[in-house]
């Protein structure tokens, strides 16, 4: 059994489909997306459709990123809506055939809201903690605050008291390769910025990548 982490997809559905074929997911794989599947890229709706389909045949765990939270919060006030739109939400609305800035919950099928609400804050294995952004070093997982799990950059992070390696996204690696630190590995490899979408086998260190042109490559950390 492999535990496979997929970095920030950000609406890059072409890259997601190419990556899925390239990795050739097995029936016993545990696949964990690290959040920020939406915004910025051209096809956020398609990404959610692809993940829902993948979850019907594989063990898929979707984590929540700050962009999923921003989309939820966009329903709360005009200020929150414009904050989301400014940070990539406009592309998400357009992928649903909507025209910013007007936006309400009824504009999007409940299937997609249910998907976003189902995303989890973290996933833990024997040796790793998978989370969108980072962890507060001296706090138990159940007590973590969103300032850390959704927003902190990996270069600001410190080792977690559990001693487990953090697998995260959120901090874009503009050169397109995973960043390996002593206590963490970041696999946001800038899929929506003409970079690569990364899938990492967290135990072996092997990774596979695809981009929006459908190109693929692989390596190890």
Fill in the DSSP letter of residue 120: B
Is the pLDDT confidence value at 74 over 90? yes
128 class by beta-carbon count within 10 Å (0-12 exposed, 13-18 middle, 19+ buried)? buried
Q: Mean pLDDT, to the nearest integer, of 101-119?
A: 95
Q: Is 119 helix (H, G, I), strand (E, B) or coil?
A: coil
Residue 67 lies in a domain: yes
Q: Mean pLDDT, to the nearest integer, of 4-21?
A: 98
Q: Is 123 helix (H, G, I), strand (E, B) or coil?
A: strand
Q: What is the pLDDT of residue 190?
A: 98
Query: For strand 3-6 and strand 122-124, is the pairing parallel, antiparallel, or unpaired?
Result: unpaired
Residue 141 lies in a domain: no
Are 153 and 196 in contact, with CB atoms under 8 Å apart? Answer: no
Residue 133 lies in a domain: no
Residue 75 lies in a domain: yes
Q: What is the pLDDT of residue 72?
A: 97
User: How many domains does the chain fold into?
Assistant: 1
Q: DSSP labels for 124-177?
A: E-SSEEEESS---TTS-GGG--HIIIII--GGG----TT-PEEEE-SS--TTSS
Cα angle value 44/35/214 (rounded, 5°) = 50
State pLDDT tens for residues 131-172: 999 999 999 999 999 999 999 999 999 999 999 999 999 999
Q: What is the pLDDT of residue 102?
A: 87
Q: Mean pLDDT, to the nearest integer, of 109-124?
A: 98
Is the pLDDT confidence value at 45 over 90? yes
Are 15 and 212 in contact, with CB atoms under 8 Å apart? Answer: yes
Residue 87 lies in a domain: yes
Q: Mean pLDDT, to the nearest integer, of 196-216?
A: 98
Q: Mean pLDDT, to the nearest integer, of 67-93?
A: 97
**For a pLDDT cut of 90, what percent of the chain falls above it?**
99
**For a pLDDT cut of 70, what percent of the chain falls above it?**
100
Q: What is the pLDDT of residue 10?
A: 98
Q: What is the pLDDT of residue 93?
A: 97
- CATH number, domain of 55, equals 3.60.21.10
Is the pLDDT confidence value at 83 over 90? yes
Q: What is the pLDDT of residue 112?
A: 98
Residue 80 lies in a domain: yes
Is the pLDDT confidence value at 79 over 90? yes
Query: For strand 184-186 and strand 128-131, is the pairing parallel, antiparallel, or unpaired?
Result: unpaired
Residue 201 lies in a domain: yes
Are 190 and 176 in contact, with CB atoms under 8 Å apart? Answer: yes
Residue 148 lies in a domain: no
Closest alpha carbon to 37 in 141, 157, 191, 165 = 191
Q: Which domain holds residue 88?
A: 3-124+168-220
Token duo for residue 24: 């050739």
């Amino acid at each position: 059994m492999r535990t496979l982490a997929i970095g920030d997809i950000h609406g890059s559905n072409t890259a997601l489909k190419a990556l899925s074929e390239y990795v050739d997911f097995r029936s016993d794989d545990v696949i964990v997306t690290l959040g920020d599947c939406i915004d910025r890229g051209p096809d956020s709706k398609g990404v959610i459709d692809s993940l829902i389909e993948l979850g019907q045949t594989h063990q898929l765990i979707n984590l929540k990123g700050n962009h999923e939270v921003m989309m939820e919060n966009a329903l709360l006030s005009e200020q929150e809506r414009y904050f989301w739109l400014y940070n990539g939400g406009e592309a998400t609305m357009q992928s649903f055939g909507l025209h910013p800035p007007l936006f309400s919950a009824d504009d999007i099928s409940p299937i997609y809201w249910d998907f976003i609400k189902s995303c989890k804050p973290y996933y833990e294995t024997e040796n790793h903690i998978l989370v969108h952004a980072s962890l507060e070093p001296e706090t138990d997982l159940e007590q973590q605050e969103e300032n850390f799990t959704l927003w902190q950059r990996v270069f600001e992070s410190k080792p977690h008291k559990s001693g487990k390696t953090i697998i995260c996204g959120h901090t874009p690696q503009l050169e397109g390769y995973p960043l390996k630190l002593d206590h963490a590995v970041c696999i946001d490899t800038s899929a929506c910025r003409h970079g690569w979408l990364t899938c990492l086998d967290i135990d072996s260190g092997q990774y596979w990548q695809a981009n929006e042109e459908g190109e693929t490559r692989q390596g190890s950390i």
